[in-house]
Amino acid sequence: MQIVGINIGPAAAPSGLPLVRVVFEGEGGESVAVEMARGEHADGALGAIDRAKALLVQTATFEMPVNGNDVSDGSAERDDIHSGESSIYTFEYRDGDQARQVPPAEMPSFEAARAEAIRCAIDMLVDLEPGADDLTGWLLRVRDQAGNELCAIDVAEAQAARQANENTPL
Protein backbone atom coordinates (compact mmCIF):
# COMPACT_ATOMS: atom_id res chain seq x y z
CA MET A 1 0.00 0.00 0.00
CA GLN A 2 1.40 3.37 -0.99
CA ILE A 3 0.71 5.76 1.90
CA VAL A 4 -0.71 9.09 0.78
CA GLY A 5 -1.91 10.43 4.11
CA ILE A 6 -1.81 9.88 7.86
CA ASN A 7 -4.48 11.05 10.29
CA ILE A 8 -4.16 11.03 14.07
CA GLY A 9 -7.06 11.52 16.44
CA PRO A 10 -8.76 10.41 19.61
CA ALA A 11 -10.70 7.15 19.92
CA ALA A 12 -12.22 5.11 22.72
CA ALA A 13 -12.09 1.41 23.55
CA PRO A 14 -15.39 -0.39 24.24
CA SER A 15 -14.43 -0.17 27.93
CA GLY A 16 -14.26 3.62 27.63
CA LEU A 17 -10.46 3.73 27.87
CA PRO A 18 -9.19 6.72 25.87
CA LEU A 19 -7.14 5.71 22.83
CA VAL A 20 -5.20 7.36 20.05
CA ARG A 21 -6.06 6.30 16.51
CA VAL A 22 -3.50 6.53 13.69
CA VAL A 23 -4.99 5.97 10.23
CA PHE A 24 -2.67 5.29 7.29
CA GLU A 25 -4.48 6.15 4.04
CA GLY A 26 -3.51 4.47 0.77
CA GLU A 27 -3.69 5.85 -2.73
CA GLY A 28 -6.31 3.29 -3.78
CA GLY A 29 -8.75 4.32 -1.09
CA GLU A 30 -7.69 1.64 1.37
CA SER A 31 -6.75 2.50 4.91
CA VAL A 32 -5.31 0.85 8.00
CA ALA A 33 -6.17 2.12 11.47
CA VAL A 34 -4.14 1.41 14.59
CA GLU A 35 -5.60 2.22 17.98
CA MET A 36 -3.38 2.33 21.04
CA ALA A 37 -3.57 3.43 24.64
CA ARG A 38 -2.66 7.03 25.29
CA GLY A 39 0.71 7.57 26.90
CA GLU A 40 2.49 4.95 24.79
CA HIS A 41 3.86 7.66 22.52
CA ALA A 42 5.54 10.35 24.55
CA ASP A 43 6.95 12.00 21.42
CA GLY A 44 3.61 13.41 20.22
CA ALA A 45 2.34 12.77 16.69
CA LEU A 46 5.65 11.43 15.37
CA GLY A 47 5.91 9.07 18.32
CA ALA A 48 2.34 7.85 17.73
CA ILE A 49 3.14 7.21 14.07
CA ASP A 50 6.34 5.32 14.93
CA ARG A 51 4.50 3.19 17.52
CA ALA A 52 1.68 2.46 15.04
CA LYS A 53 4.22 1.36 12.41
CA ALA A 54 5.87 -0.94 14.95
CA LEU A 55 2.52 -2.45 15.87
CA LEU A 56 1.76 -3.06 12.20
CA VAL A 57 5.08 -4.87 11.71
CA GLN A 58 4.31 -7.02 14.73
CA THR A 59 0.76 -7.67 13.52
CA ALA A 60 1.87 -8.58 10.01
CA THR A 61 3.95 -11.42 11.41
CA PHE A 62 1.35 -12.58 13.94
CA GLU A 63 0.06 -16.08 13.32
CA MET A 64 -3.64 -16.78 13.78
CA PRO A 65 -5.07 -19.62 15.88
CA VAL A 66 -5.31 -23.00 14.20
CA ASN A 67 -8.43 -24.21 16.01
CA GLY A 68 -10.79 -22.50 13.55
CA ASN A 69 -12.56 -20.43 16.20
CA ASP A 70 -13.78 -16.98 15.23
CA VAL A 71 -11.57 -14.49 17.05
CA SER A 72 -13.35 -11.36 15.84
CA ASP A 73 -14.95 -10.68 19.24
CA GLY A 74 -11.82 -11.51 21.20
CA SER A 75 -13.60 -14.20 23.24
CA ALA A 76 -12.38 -17.30 21.40
CA GLU A 77 -9.81 -19.59 22.91
CA ARG A 78 -6.42 -19.35 21.26
CA ASP A 79 -4.09 -22.17 20.37
CA ASP A 80 -0.39 -21.38 20.53
CA ILE A 81 1.02 -22.30 17.14
CA HIS A 82 4.60 -21.56 18.04
CA SER A 83 6.68 -24.52 19.13
CA GLY A 84 8.70 -22.48 21.58
CA GLU A 85 11.23 -21.58 18.89
CA SER A 86 10.18 -17.95 18.50
CA SER A 87 12.60 -15.19 19.38
CA ILE A 88 12.63 -11.44 19.80
CA TYR A 89 14.03 -9.39 16.92
CA THR A 90 14.56 -5.67 16.45
CA PHE A 91 14.31 -4.05 13.02
CA GLU A 92 16.56 -1.08 12.37
CA TYR A 93 15.68 1.14 9.40
CA ARG A 94 18.04 3.47 7.60
CA ASP A 95 16.66 6.97 7.68
CA GLY A 96 19.01 9.18 5.68
CA ASP A 97 22.30 9.21 7.56
CA GLN A 98 20.70 7.87 10.73
CA ALA A 99 19.17 4.60 11.88
CA ARG A 100 15.80 4.14 13.60
CA GLN A 101 14.74 1.08 15.51
CA VAL A 102 11.18 -0.03 16.06
CA PRO A 103 10.23 -1.79 19.30
CA PRO A 104 11.24 -5.45 19.39
CA ALA A 105 8.89 -8.01 17.84
CA GLU A 106 8.44 -11.70 18.50
CA MET A 107 8.94 -13.77 15.36
CA PRO A 108 8.61 -17.53 14.94
CA SER A 109 12.13 -17.86 13.52
CA PHE A 110 15.10 -15.98 12.11
CA GLU A 111 13.92 -16.98 8.62
CA ALA A 112 10.58 -15.26 9.29
CA ALA A 113 12.35 -12.15 10.60
CA ARG A 114 14.62 -12.05 7.53
CA ALA A 115 11.65 -12.49 5.18
CA GLU A 116 9.89 -9.61 6.92
CA ALA A 117 13.04 -7.49 6.64
CA ILE A 118 13.21 -8.15 2.89
CA ARG A 119 9.52 -7.27 2.46
CA CYS A 120 10.01 -4.02 4.39
CA ALA A 121 13.18 -3.17 2.41
CA ILE A 122 11.24 -3.64 -0.84
CA ASP A 123 8.63 -1.18 0.47
CA MET A 124 11.43 1.27 1.31
CA LEU A 125 12.66 1.26 -2.30
CA VAL A 126 9.58 3.27 -3.32
CA ASP A 127 10.77 6.23 -1.26
CA LEU A 128 14.36 6.27 -2.59
CA GLU A 129 15.18 8.82 -5.26
CA PRO A 130 18.12 8.12 -7.59
CA GLY A 131 20.51 11.05 -7.49
CA ALA A 132 19.08 12.37 -4.22
CA ASP A 133 19.35 9.32 -1.95
CA ASP A 134 22.32 7.06 -1.29
CA LEU A 135 21.45 3.84 -3.11
CA THR A 136 24.35 1.92 -1.59
CA GLY A 137 24.64 0.20 1.74
CA TRP A 138 22.01 -1.28 3.98
CA LEU A 139 18.33 -0.36 4.16
CA LEU A 140 17.27 -2.53 7.05
CA ARG A 141 19.06 -4.56 9.72
CA VAL A 142 17.74 -7.33 11.93
CA ARG A 143 19.13 -7.61 15.44
CA ASP A 144 18.66 -10.27 18.09
CA GLN A 145 17.55 -9.65 21.67
CA ALA A 146 21.14 -8.88 22.71
CA GLY A 147 21.50 -6.27 19.95
CA ASN A 148 23.75 -8.38 17.70
CA GLU A 149 23.28 -7.78 14.00
CA LEU A 150 21.94 -10.96 12.37
CA CYS A 151 21.54 -9.69 8.82
CA ALA A 152 21.41 -6.52 6.77
CA ILE A 153 19.29 -6.07 3.66
CA ASP A 154 20.90 -3.70 1.17
CA VAL A 155 19.45 -1.86 -1.83
CA ALA A 156 20.70 -4.47 -4.32
CA GLU A 157 19.15 -7.37 -2.39
CA ALA A 158 15.85 -5.52 -2.01
CA GLN A 159 15.79 -4.71 -5.74
CA ALA A 160 16.55 -8.34 -6.63
CA ALA A 161 13.78 -9.57 -4.30
CA ARG A 162 11.31 -7.06 -5.78
CA GLN A 163 12.23 -8.20 -9.28
CA ALA A 164 11.79 -11.85 -8.27
CA ASN A 165 8.36 -11.07 -6.76
CA GLU A 166 7.28 -9.27 -9.93
CA ASN A 167 8.27 -12.30 -12.02
CA THR A 168 6.43 -14.77 -9.79
CA PRO A 169 2.99 -15.70 -11.17
CA LEU A 170 0.05 -15.29 -8.78
Q: Hey, where are the domains in the chain? A: 1-60, 85-170
pTM flag (> 0.75): no
What are the pLDDT digits (tens) for 20-31? 889 988 888 888
- pLDDT score at 131: 63
pLDDT, position 150 = 94
Q: What is the mean pLDDT of each run of 10 residues along the chain (170 residues)?
A: 85 79 87 77 72 76 47 41 63 83 86 89 77 74 92 90 76
pLDDT recorded at residue 162 = 86
- 3-state helix/strand/coil string of the chain: CCEEEEEEEEEECCCCCEEEEEEEEECCCCEEEEEEECCCCCCHHHHHHHHHHHHHHHHHCCCCCCCCCCCCCCCCCCCCCCCCCCEEEEEEEEECCEEEECCCEEECCHHHHHHHHHHHHHHHHCCCCECCECCCCEEEEEECCCCCEEEEEEHHHHHHHHHHHHCCCC
pLDDT given for residue 143 in this prediction: 92
Query: What confidence score (pLDDT) does residue 85 get?
Result: 52
